[in-house]
Amino acid sequence: MASNQPLVSGSVTLKTQTSNVDRPKKRRVRRARSAPLAHFVPTDANGDDDALLRSESIFGRLNPTLKKVALSLTVIVYMGLGTICFYTIRNQIKGKKTNAILDALYFCVVTMTTVGYGDLVPNSNLAKLLACAFVFTGMALIGLILAKAADYLVEKQEKLLFRALHMYKIDGEIEVLKEVEHNRVKYKFYTTSILLVVFVVTGTIFLYKVEKLDLVDAFYCVCSTITTLGYGDISFSSKGGRVFAVFWILTGTICVAKFFLYVAEVNTENRQRALVKWVLSRRTTSLDLEAADLDNDGVVGAAEFVLFKLKEMGKICKQDISVIMEEFEELDLDQSGTLTVSDIALAQSVETRSS
């Protein structure tokens, strides 16, 4: 857990505006308003705060509407180009065939998702090189684009799921949004779990009814497909089956990936909450006060105590505090221990002159 070390190095100290003599015995704690977002920070179209933590993609600078169009066009271009290429070399692909165009699209999807049943395989050097190229680009496409589409689908279902679970407990849109935001990972996990069950049941029933497999083989094929295991002993062999597979394999494999991602996130969040609960419930000792005393004046203020508790919870670290304090000192040109509008303006003017 947290060690009783000073939160910042000795070179970084907290300045006070008044001396110890003039300081009042009881200080008022002022609660800061939410800080405005900087104009250059990329934001999500839906106002999701998590978007601030995501790395900006190649589409990050586009308008949200244009971004969705660009993502959709990228998927369409990939699928279309793959279908055309594999259709052109259809005679260099061997295996169970149905319709030439459908087989090309089906082979593109199976390659893209790395399922690789083996019912259709490249049979020439050119076909093998094309398969290598499309499997790498397909994996990148799933990671960068289709995963975002899956996130969008899951987030759209969160409020519906929450309303269903708490139909008579919480009223009002604001209360719903607050609860969903507080338990976002948990409800994403619930949503993907339900979607995963739907995909498994749908695929099993389809293989049982259309591909004429028994229930065990149908379930076995579903599991080996959505986990991208793809043994190849059982696969979609009919026209109708491959039309279904084109859509079902794409969505099913991504759903499984998201499911295991949210399992890990839920586990991490539970451990974090357990740590927070322990930090807030344990008694504060004299050693804790010594470690929380940032300016080494023998007195721990509200801000120092909050920083110490945040460090114990793992929300911040000593390096974070040091960097922030250094920035504060750079802005506090008059060394008053406080920041005002004039301080910011003065700091900006100094920066402008130096540049």
Residue 232, burial from CB neighbour count under 10 angstroms (0-12, 13-18, 19+): middle
Average pLDDT over residues 53-71: 57
Report the predicted TM-score, pTM, of the whole model to 2 decimal places. 0.60
Tell me which residue range forms the domain holding 334. 317-354
* Per-residue pLDDT at 35 exceeds 50: no
49 pLDDT more than 50: no
Domain count, the chain: 2
Tell me: do 126 and 264 sit in the same domain. Answer: yes
Q: How confident is the model at residue 179 (pLDDT cuts 50, 70, 90)?
A: low
Indicate the SS3 state at residue 55: coil
Task: Provide the 3-class DSSP secondary structure of residue 93.
Answer: strand
Position 349 in a domain? yes
Can you give the pLDDT at residue 240?
Answer: 92
Give the Cβ contact number of residue 99 at 10 Å.
12
Task: Name the percent of the chain lying above pLDDT 70.
Answer: 70
Q: What does the pLDDT read at residue 219?
A: 96
Of 224, 259, 280, which residue constitutes the final position of a domain? 280
In angstroms, rounded to a whole number, what is the distance separating the alpha carbons of residues 14 and 325?
8
Alpha helices in the chain (DSSP H): 64-88, 100-112, 125-141, 147-165, 173-182, 184-209, 215-226, 239-281, 286-292, 302-312, 318-331, 341-354
Answer with the residue of higher pLDDT: 65 or 206. Answer: 206
Asked whether residue 248 falls in the same domain as residue 350, the answer is: no
Provide the pLDDT for residue 158. 53
In this structure, the answer to whether residues 112 and 259 fall within a common structural domain is yes
For residues 277-301, give the mean pLDDT.
82
Per-residue pLDDT at 82: 92
Buried b (16+ CB within 10 A) or exposed e, 264-284: eebeebeeeeebbeebeeeee
Averaged pLDDT score across all residues of the chain: 76
Q: At what angle do helices 184-209 and 239-281 cross, to 10 degrees?
A: 160
Range of weakest confidence among 66-75, 84-93, 143-152, 305-314: 143-152
Q: What is the mean pLDDT of residues 83-96?
A: 93
- Reported as a pLDDT band with limits 50, 70 and 90, residue 114 is confident
Same structural domain, 329 and 240 = no
Residue 150 lies in a domain: yes
For the record, the structure tokens of 251 come out as: 């969505």
Residue 57 domain flag? no
Which of 263, 280, 297 marks a domain boundary?
Answer: 280
Same domain, 248 and 341: no
Cβ neighbourhood burial of 256 (10 Å; 0-12, 13-18, 19+): buried
C-alpha to C-alpha distances, 289 to 16, 68, 148, 178, 329, nearest whole angstrom:
19, 51, 45, 34, 24
Residue 294, pLDDT > 60, answer yes
- Does one domain contain both 255 and 344? no
Angle at 115 between CA 113 and CA 118, to 5 degrees: 135
- Residues 197 and 334 placed together within one structural domain of the fold: no
- Give pLDDT, residue 33: 44
Burial class (CB in 10 A: 0-12, 13-18, 19+), 316: middle
| pLDDT of amino acid 56 | 45
Q: List pLDDT tens digits, range 321-351.
A: 788 888 888 888 888 878 888 888 888 887 7
Does 308 reside within a domain? no
List the single range of 23-37, 204-218, 249-263 with lowest mean pLDDT.
Answer: 23-37
Paired with 94 in beta bridges are 121
* Per-residue pLDDT tens digits for 196-248: 999 999 999 999 999 999 999 999 999 999 998 888 888 998 999 999 999 99
Q: Identify the pLDDT of residue 81.
A: 93
pLDDT at 70: 75
Q: Would the pLDDT of 280 be above 90? A: no
Comparing CA positions, the residue from 245, 217, 222 lying closest to residue 103 is 245
Tell me if 22 is assigned to some domain: no
Pick the last residue of a domain from 234, 260, 280: 280
In a domain, 245, yes or no: yes
Q: Comparing C-alpha atoms, which of 141, 140, 137 is closest to residue 75?
A: 141
User: Does residue 55 lie within any of the structural domains?
Assistant: no
Residues 151 and 265 in one domain: yes
* Residue 202 within any structural domain of the chain: yes
**Displacement of CA 104 from its chain's centroid (Å):** 33
Do 255 and 125 lie in one domain? The reply is yes
List the CATH number of the domain containing 257. Answer: 1.10.287.70
Task: Round to whole Å and give the CA distance between 138 and 147.
Answer: 12
CA-closest candidate to residue 109, choices 131, 86, 142, 79: 79
Q: Residue 224's closest CA among 239, 245, 243, 244?
A: 245
Is pLDDT above 80 for 45? no
Contact 245, 259 (CB under 8 A): no
